[in-house]
Amino acid sequence: MTEFLITAGIFGACMGSFLNVVAHRSIQNKPWWGNERSICEACGHVLGFFELIPVISWLILRGRCKNCGAKISVRYILVELICAAMAVMIVRRWGLSWACLVVSVGACSIIINSLTDIEAGDVFDMFAITPGVIALIIRLAGGKSAFLDGLTGALIGWGNLTRRNGLGGRYVHVRNGRGIGL
């Protein structure tokens, strides 16, 4: 079990690193798929394999670029650690199951939308809607009732979000669909 949880933690940290990149590049309007290598934004140094290892590389480099010494935001390691902890908690609670997959998609959604919101005060429709659709499709594995259950929850959530006086009314109508910003 311990090895299993450690593996989940490592996977979570890698996922956190990936979400960091996806959020940052999306804000910059750059593609996050393909072969584009990660670079230091201060000096353009292309990051090598060891500089991309989640958590460990940040600690070894003490949060600075190996080439120019520019500071690397503490947010990177924080997100990697949070995602590692979330992965361990999710796997511990649900094991390797369809429920684990659905919760993981939800967790990734929360993280990436928080990141774009914190960094740019923006929440991308793609990252808000796609995880919901994926989670609904996965719920089909649990049969019709599980799917309808999920669909009901999604519709209530959506209604609450778009209703002017709902929880997300301010998000949609006051901020014109943009994030709260920090």
Interacting residues toward Zn ion by CB under 5 A: 40, 42-43, 45, 65, 67-68, 70
Nearest approach in angstroms of CB 51 to Zn ion is 10
Q: Closest CB to Zn ion among 43 and 174?
A: 43
Nearest approach in angstroms of CB 47 to Zn ion is 9
Nearest approach in angstroms of CB 113 to Zn ion is 29
Nearest approach in angstroms of CB 65 to Zn ion is 3
Cβ pair 47, 121 in contact under 8 A: no
Q: Closest CB to Zn ion among 65 and 108?
A: 65
d(CA 83, CA 110): 11
d(CA 121, CA 156): 25
Q: Closest CB to Zn ion among 59 and 68?
A: 68
Q: Whose structure tokens read 């290598």?
A: 37
Q: Closest CB to Zn ion among 70 and 74?
A: 70
100, 106, 108, 112: CA torsion to nearest 10: 180
